[in-house]
């Protein structure tokens, strides 16, 4: 294994596209301490997590893994045969985060253990603080997969780019000209306030879908499925999955943003790799940034540039690409480490300037109901007796 974790294999695939081996890809992340402040992950935390995952790989629990950091979030990309929501895999991730937290405490990193909201693991990492995107899929003859990791924003930040990939013919030429995907896709949307979900077909129900997901702080895309008519993909296996954990709702108080992650499959009946990346050439406005309470542009960056600095941001997205080979993660390729995204970064920096000039005013600052915390109740209490009725 080289420094970049590149594997070279001779892989023989006797089966058709839809009939390979079932593999689960799990991307689980947590902020267990920032260095310095909320800006990056200390390398010792990544080393610690790697040791935990390496030993699970030796024991045969994991097929493969890759550990990285985006902003202050420690990212575990794992492959295995245990399916989604596996107690063993979630327990392993929890252990990696706990071990990393010990180091974070030793180094007095900022907010050590901040996303581990429970003291002990109890069967499923869901609702315990970390964010999760997992999919069990039949590995195709060629299975390109992209891990998207965002910092300083929330799950709804994926709505626009995921819609563009799977629903917008101006982004994805394949929707128009590839017979395999010409019938479109099915979007699973969650109402994260009422804890309900709905499936919507695109293109037939595009406007209904947009009516929901345009309200990105409440309606979030959880998964995208191929349609039954797609000859290259199984209809019950997602082509995209997004983490939707809302830390505020879990903890009942502000403990940091819900920096989301996603897994997206590309090519052969799904959008091409370039169609999957294309939406990020537009640095759209997302909520998060400083104190989880500001709108700002989402800047596509390489892993090396995934350090949240300016006003604790601006919000970032990194993308690592892999080919799966019987569950082996052949990669990563750092997909935004490319001059083709320089203009998007420059635009994002200009938008950051423009937004910052609003200071504490909306729409840079989020509307009251979306801010992670506010002094308004205290200010109102203090001024209560000075407020006079307007005659």
User: What is the per-residue burial (b if ≥16 Cβ within 10 Å, else e) of 75-85?
Assistant: bbbbbbebebb
Asked whether position 37 contacts ligand F6R by CB under 6 A, the answer is yes
Q: Would you say 257 or 316 has its CB closer to ligand F6R?
A: 257
Q: Would you say 31 or 134 has its CB closer to Mg ion?
A: 31
Asked whether position 111 contacts Mg ion by CB under 5 A, the answer is yes
> Is the Cβ–Cβ distance between 33 and 111 less than 8 Å?
yes
- Per-position x/- string for 111-130, each x denoting binding to ligand F6R as judged by CB under 6 A, each - no binding: x-------------------
- Contacted by 115, from Mg ion, ligand F6R, none: CB < 5 to 8 Å by type: none
Residue nearest to ligand F6R (CB): 312
Minimal distance in Å, beta carbon 77 to Mg ion?
17
Asked whether position 292 contacts ligand F6R by CB under 6 A, the answer is yes
- Per-position x/- string for 92-111, each x denoting binding to ligand F6R as judged by CB under 6 A, each - no binding: -------------------x
Burial of residue 335 (number of CB atoms within 10 Å: 0-12, 13-18, 19+):
buried
Q: Which residue from 38, 66, 307, 365 is in contact with Mg ion, where contact means CB under 5 A? A: 38
- From CA 135, how far away is CA 263, in angstroms rounded? 8
Asked whether position 73 contacts Mg ion by CB under 5 A, the answer is yes
Minimal distance in Å, beta carbon 257 to ligand F6R?
4
Q: Which residue from 20, 23, 25, 31 is in contact with Mg ion, where contact means CB under 5 A? A: 31
- Contacted by 73, from ligand F6R, Mg ion, none: CB < 5 to 8 Å by type: Mg ion
Active site residues: 31, 254, 257
Asked whether position 152 contacts ligand F6R by CB under 6 A, the answer is yes
Minimal distance in Å, beta carbon 296 to ligand F6R?
11
- Contacted by 66, from Mg ion, ligand F6R, none: CB < 5 to 8 Å by type: none
Q: What are the tokens at 58?
A: 């030796």
Minimal distance in Å, beta carbon 141 to ligand F6R?
41
Asked whether position 257 contacts ligand F6R by CB under 6 A, the answer is yes
Q: Which residue from 136, 168, 188, 312 is in contact with ligand F6R, where contact means CB under 6 A? A: 312
Q: Hey, which residues between 176 and 205 contact Mg ion (CB under 5 A)?
A: none
Of the candidate spans 181-189, 244-252, 286-294, 330-338, the one that interacts with ligand F6R by CB under 6 A turns out to be 286-294
Q: Which residue from 64, 143, 168, 259 is in contact with Mg ion, where contact means CB under 5 A? A: 259
Q: Would you say 158 or 225 has its CB closer to ligand F6R?
A: 158
Asked whether position 312 contacts Mg ion by CB under 5 A, the answer is no
Residues of the shown chain interacting with ligand F6R in the complex, contacts defined by CB under 6 A: 37-38, 111, 152, 256-257, 288, 290-292, 312
């Amino acid at each position: 294994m080289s420094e970049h974790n590149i594997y070279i294999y001779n892989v023989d695939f006797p089966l058709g596209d839809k009939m390979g081996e079932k593999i689960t890809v799990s991307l689980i992340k947590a902020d267990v301490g920032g260095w310095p402040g909320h800006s990056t992950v200390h390398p010792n935390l990544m080393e610690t997590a790697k040791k935990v995952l390496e030993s699970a790989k030796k024991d045969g629990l994991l097929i493969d893994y890759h550990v990285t950091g985006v902003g202050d979030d420690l990212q575990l990309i794992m492959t295995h045969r245990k399916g989604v929501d596996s107690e063993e895999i979630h327990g392993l991730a929890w252990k990696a985060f706990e071990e990393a937290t010990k180091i974070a405490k030793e180094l007095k990193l900022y907010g050590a253990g901040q996303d581990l909201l429970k003291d002990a693991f109890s069967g499923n990492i869901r609702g315990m603080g970390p964010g999760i995107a997992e999919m069990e899929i039949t590995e195709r003859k060629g299975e390109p997969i992209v891990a998207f990791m965002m910092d300083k924003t929330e799950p709804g930040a994926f709505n626009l780019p995921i819609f563009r990939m799977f629903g917008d013919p101006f982004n994805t030429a394949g929707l128009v000209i590839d017979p395999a995907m010409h019938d479109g896709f099915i979007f699973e949307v969650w109402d994260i306030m009422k804890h309900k979900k709905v499936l919507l077909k695109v293109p037939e129900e595009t406007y209904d879908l947009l009516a929901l997901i345009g309200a990105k702080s409440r309606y979030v895309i959880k998964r995208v499925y191929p349609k039954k008519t797609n000859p290259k993909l199984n209809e019950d296996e997602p082509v995209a999955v997004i983490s939707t954990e809302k830390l505020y709702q879990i903890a009942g108080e502000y403990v940091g943003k819900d920096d989301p992650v996603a897994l997206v499959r590309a090519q052969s009946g799904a959008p091409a790799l370039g169609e999957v990346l294309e939406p990020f050439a537009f640095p759209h406005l997302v909520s998060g940034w400083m104190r989880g309470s500001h709108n700002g542009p989402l800047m596509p960056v390489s892993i090396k540039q995934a350090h949240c600095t300016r006003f604790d941001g601006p919000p970032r997205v990194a993308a690592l690409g892999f080919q799966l080979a019987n569950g082996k993660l052949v990669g990563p390729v750092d997909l935004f480490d490319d001059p083709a995204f320089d203009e998007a970064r420059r635009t994002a920096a200009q938008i950051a300037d423009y937004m910052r000039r609003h200071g504490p005013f909306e729409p840079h600052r989020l509307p009251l109901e979306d801010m992670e915390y506010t002094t308004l109740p205290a200010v109102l209490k203090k001024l209560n007796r000075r407020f006079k009725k307007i005659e």
